[in-house]
Amino acid sequence: YTSSLQIKNYPSKMKYCSSCGSKVELKVPQDDHFPRYCCTNCDAIHYQNPNIVTGTIPIMKDRVLLCKRAIHPRPGMWTLPAGFLENGETLGQGAFRETLEETNTEVKMGNLYAIFNIPQISQIYMLFFAEVLREDFGKTPESLEVKLFKEEEIPWQELAFPFVPIVLKNYFADRKDNKFDLKVETIERPVKKTNQ
Q: Which of the stretches 42-50, 65-73, 123-131, 157-165 binds Zn ion when contact is defined by CB under 5 A?
A: 42-50
- Contact between 148 and 71 under an 8 Å Cβ cutoff? The reply is no
* 173 near Zn ion, rule: CB under 5 A: no
Closer Cβ to Zn ion, 48 or 140, answer by number: 48
SS (H, E, C) the chain: CCCCCCCCCCCCCCCECCCCCCEEEEECCCCCCCCEEEECCCCCEECCCCEEEEEEEEEECCEEEEEEECCCCCCCCEECCEEECCCCCCHHHHHHHHHHHHHCCCCEEEEEEEEEEEHHHCEEEEEEEEECCCCCCCCECCEEEEEEECHHHCCHHHECCCHHHHHHHHHHHHHHHCCCCCEEEECCCCCCHHHC
> For Zn ion, which is the closer residue by CB, 24 or 166?
24
Q: Going residue by residue from 127 to 166, which x/- string records binding to Zn ion, judged by CB under 5 A?
A: ----------------------------------------
Nearer to Zn ion, 28 or 42 (CB): 42
The one among 38, 39, 85, 107 contacting Zn ion by CB under 5 A:
39
Q: How far is the CB of 21 from Zn ion (least distance, A)?
A: 7
Per the CB < 8 A criterion, the answer to whether 57 and 113 are in contact is yes
Binding residues for Zn ion, total number by CB under 5 A: 8
Considering only residues 9 through 28, tell me which ones interact with Zn ion, judged by CB under 5 A. Answer: 17, 19-20, 22
Give the residue with the Cβ less far from Zn ion, 20 or 28: 20
d(CA 43, CA 17): 10
Which of 25, 135 has the CB closer to Zn ion? 25
Question: Residue 29 Cβ, how far from Zn ion at the closest point, in Å?
Answer: 14
44 binds Zn ion (CB under 5 A): yes
Positions touching Zn ion (CB under 5 A) are 17, 19-20, 22, 39, 41-42, 44
